[in-house]
Structures are given as structure tokens and as C-alpha cells.
Amino acid sequence: MRQRVFFLILTAWLLCGAFVPAAADCAAAGPVDAALPETAMKPSFPMPPLSGPEADIILRKATEAPYSGQYTNKREAGTYVCRQCGTPLYSSRDKFESGCGWPSFDDELPGAVRRQPDADGRRVEIVCANCGGHLGHVFAGEGFTAKNTRHCVNSLSMSFYPAGSPEEAQALARSAPQGCTATAIVAGGCFWGVEDAFRKMPGVCAAVSGYTGGRTPDPTYEAVCGGNTGHAEAVRVSFDPSVVSYEQILRRFFEIHDPTQLDRQGPDVGDQYRSAVFFLDAEQEAVARSLMSRLRELGYDVVTRLEPAGPFYMAEEYHQRFAERTGRGRCHMPVPRFDIPAGGGGGALRK
């Protein structure tokens, strides 16, 4: 292992040259005190002014010395955002230890990172897709993870927001498409089908599979399936309230799964498959209670839990858009329960 680490560091030095106090990158076209590029884009989200070293890296494409960054060995769950504009770039789920001396990720958040030829003619530079700020470089074929990709990123190019923090929630909300200012979080059995059903709903901008409602930080799929984390397979829905209301979102939720099944959906058994609405405020809670009361009036023995929203942990990448990619997992067929009394064909939903 030590030999591998030494080889990686030596390779980086040979590619980039010796690091100087200002940490000039091999891709830099001039000295670090050169004028800022005319193409530097204005930040979209309010962020603190860049420090001198941050500007050297983000605007002038310098590189921090290996093992000097605050995020190199960070393992906390959360989201890494662009230091210049605040756009979410990477999830802690995709971070891994490469031993190269810089934070390493094997994937980026969808559409967050742009690749372009490096000035050295050999490497591939990665920049923030929103503001164009320099992040580092991306390498393939090294075999560190199953994705066989390594984003080598400067710590000074990023800020970190812990999972479930207000800062993370605000950053993720701001990066959603314009108009998508509202969020709903629900659980109704296997998240593949729930996510797929919401993706097709007009007014929905994004649907993300994940885990929430439990006590284990940054859980894995295997841990959640073990039934000891308290988390449910859930879906976070971002939507445009001018097109679709929260009530319409929840009505669809109650119609694509069976809210009368306790801690299960069809053959999937366990509290990780529970029916639940994770409300973000009192208004959402009131809407959920009203719809549940309506279903009970129609004769449905609703067992859906109402839980205050807590940290939402994005599921592994292979779960995202699973039904769309594989054609499997579409097990949530809509049943018009609000129009059909219990016993009239709107009861238990079979998977």
C-alpha cells in the first residue's frame, strides 16, 4: 500500500512539477498573480469572498499541495458544493480513499461537473458546470472502485455541508431547476417504483431515491435491508408548486401504494418498506392528515405514519432511475382510491 501511495504522489509531481508556495498547477498558463480570466463567470448563489489561495485554484487553475486540504480524509456524510457559486457538486457517498493526497470521488452529482481538455494536452480538467471554477482533474482506468473513475479535487475548490443541515437543504433546493421550489418526502415500499411514478408526474422536476426516518447516519442499502437502521426506503420529490400542489403530490402517493399495509408493501416486508409521509412543516402535516381522514371516511384502514422530516440520505447511484434504466421495479400501479370506497377495488395493492 505504501508503495502504491508513493507511486501516485510521485506521478502527480512528475505530471504537475514541483509545488511552489502558491501551489501553481501544471495547467496554469502564467504566474499565480496573473489577471483573472475574462471568462470567469459570476457566482449564482451568495458565497463568502474567495481567499487568495482559493482564487489561485478556482480562477487561475493552481493546485493545493497533497495532503494539505481539509477534506482529503473527511468521512462525514453530506454534500460538497462549489466554493465559488455554491452549486452542489459531489455526495459523500461517492467519496473514497485513493491515497493520492487530494479528495477523491468516483462520480459527480448529475450535471454538476463539466469535463474539458487540460492545457497540458494530456489530462482532462474538471470545472463547475455552473460557474466554470476549476476543481481539478478526472482519471479513468485506475481500478480504485467499480466505477473505475477518480475525480481528483482540490479541497479549496469546495465547501462542505453536513447531511440534513439547513445549508445542505438550501443548496440542493437552489440548484433545482427554476420554479422547482417545493419538496415532498414520502415512503411507500420499494423506492424504485415510487421514484418512477413521480418522475412521470407533470410539475415534478426531480425524484431521488434515498433513506430517511432512522437513526443510522449515512446508511447503506445493505444496512437498511437488515432492518436495524430505522430508515425507510423513501423518495424526495422536487416540484413546481405553480404546476402541481403538495396535495396533488400526496394524492398520487396514496394512489400508487397501499396505505393500509403495515410495515410492508406486497412481498416486501419490514419497517424499511413502511408507508410514511415525512412532512417539512405544519402545512404539509395538515394536508397529509386531511387526505388520510378522507381515505378513512371511504373505509380504508390507513396505517401511514406521519413523521417530521429529518436527514435524507441519497441512495447509491445504481438505485437512481432504476426502473427507467432496467425496465424493472415498476410495481406501483395507480389506483383511484379517493374515488373508490374500500371494498370496491381500491384495497390492497399487489406488487
Q: Active-site residue numbers?
A: 190
Whose CA is closest to 118, among 152, 95, 163? 152
Q: Per the structure block, which three cell numbers stand in for 179?
A: 420554479
